[in-house]
Structure 1
Amino acid sequence: MRSLPLTICAAAAVAAISVSAPAASAARNDDGTLRVTPSTIAPGGEVELWSDACGKGKEGVGESDAFASSVRFTPADGKGLRAEARIRSGAEAGRYDVTLFCEGRAGKDGRATGTLTVVHRVRPTPVAPVHAGGGGTAVLAEQAEDSDGPGAPHVVAGLALAAVAAATAAFRGARRRRPAAD
């Protein structure tokens, strides 16, 4: 009886996870795949690019209006090419095409395309900042500089407590050592 609600909840969770932002975007055309990871990024971030379009041991150049500059693809993992690209800090929010142009491919030039999405994330600012770390303890440190440490009342109270503790220990020890009266 309880398996039906559990199945519905599990299906809803899987659907929510698969619909949420994908971790990588890959496009395939005649020459191969170009994978952009992550596919959604904020300006100033870095993406990793991988492609199998150019063949083994070749090189290529990647371009996008979102990139700060063109990127150089180099051989990776024996199967494809890899590159890292930085997104321009002034990139507008939206979708951008990424194109890989293969170099040194016999017969024809290889090419692959992919996409990435630039999003602007707004960082929340605290309404009432918490006094923490060096900033919050600075007031206490300033107050501590004014005091010279424990004074005479603290020393007297400490000695009195030590005397009470010593007397209690001696009294208990003496009680345990007495032989039992017959």
Structure 2
Amino acid sequence: MAVAAPVGGARAHEDGAVRATVAPAGAAAGATVEVSVSGCEGTTGSAGAGAFEGDAQLTARDGGKDSLHGKAKIRGGVSGSYDVTVICDGHPHQRAGTVRVVQRNPEPVSPVRAGGGGTAQFTSVASAGADEAGPGTRHAVTGLVLAGVAAVAVAVRSVRRRRSE
């Protein structure tokens, strides 16, 4: 009877030693994400998910073996969570991480009703019972009195200035 012992690469796969993280944690369709993978012994690999347009090609930064990095673009029309499969050291590592695709807030396609135009509907309801004839006699008299006071003040100041010279 023969017993097969797992070799180092298979053991890493079974133990879940290969981990993938995707940044940002929640990305919208069309966004580019950074994929970082730890636990691979080589300096290259790839990472794929159902949400990616294509596999992210992973390489080690500065020639180190600590982690692999790559970029991937999120496909349009997808949402939800997707498992990330990493291929490194000649083996696939399924469910090494997840990527979460979120819905992007809709962008306006026409001018936004803001400022006075957006509040006009509220003022029309509030002033439906108000008299819309414009300023009345009381306002006209008040304006004339204030204009007269201003004219007298200017005249008095002009007279004082001439006397002091």
TM-score, structure 2 as length reference: 0.51
| Cα separation, partners in 2 of 1:31 and 1:88, compared to 1, 3 Å | same
Q: Deviations over 1:8-58 (max 9, x none)?
A: xxxxxxxxxxxxxxxxxxxxx532321111121100001101112212x52
Whole-Å Cα distance in 2 between the matches of residues 63 and 82 of structure 1?
13
1:100 corresponds to 2:82: no
Identical-residue share of aligned pairs (%): 33
Runs of 5+ unmatched residues, structure 1: 1-28, 131-182
1:64 is matched with 49
1:35 corresponds to 2:41: no
Q: Which of the residues 67, 70, 80 maps onto 2:67?
A: 80
Whole-Å Cα distance in 2 between the matches of residues 94 and 44 of structure 1?
14
Query: Which has the greater radius of gyration?
Result: 2
1:158 is matched with none
1:48 is matched with 34
SS of the residue aligned with 2:51?
coil
SS of the residue aligned with 1:117?
strand
Alignment of 1:94-173 (within 5 A): 94-102=80-88, 105=89, 109=91, 111=93, 113-123=96-106, 125=108, 127-128=112-113
Runs of 5+ unmatched residues, structure 2: 1-14, 116-165
Extract structure 1 runs of 4+ deviating beyond 6 A. Answer: none
Whole-Å Cα distance in 1 between the matches of residues 55 and 92 of structure 2?
17
TM-score, structure 1 as length reference: 0.47
| Cα separation, partners in 2 of 1:122 and 1:51, compared to 1, 3 Å | same
Alpha-carbon distance, 1:66 to partner: 0.1
1:8 is matched with none
Whole-Å Cα distance in 2 between the matches of residues 52 and 100 of structure 1?
10
Whole-Å Cα distance in 2 between the matches of residues 65 and 109 of structure 1?
19
SS of the residue aligned with 2:60?
strand
Alpha-carbon distance, 1:110 to partner: 6.1
RMSD of aligned Cα (Å):
2.6
Whole-Å Cα distance in 2 between the matches of residues 100 and 34 of structure 1?
8
**Which residue identity lines up with residue 97 of structure 2 in the other structure?**
G
**Which residue identity lines up with residue 100 of structure 2 in the other structure?**
T
SS of the residue aligned with 1:115?
strand
SS of the residue aligned with 2:91?
coil
Whole-Å Cα distance in 1 between the matches of residues 107 and 31 of structure 2?
19
Alpha-carbon distance, 1:81 to partner: 0.4
Contact 2:85 2:92 survives alignment (8 Å): no
**Which residue identity lines up with residue 128 of structure 1 in the other structure?**
R
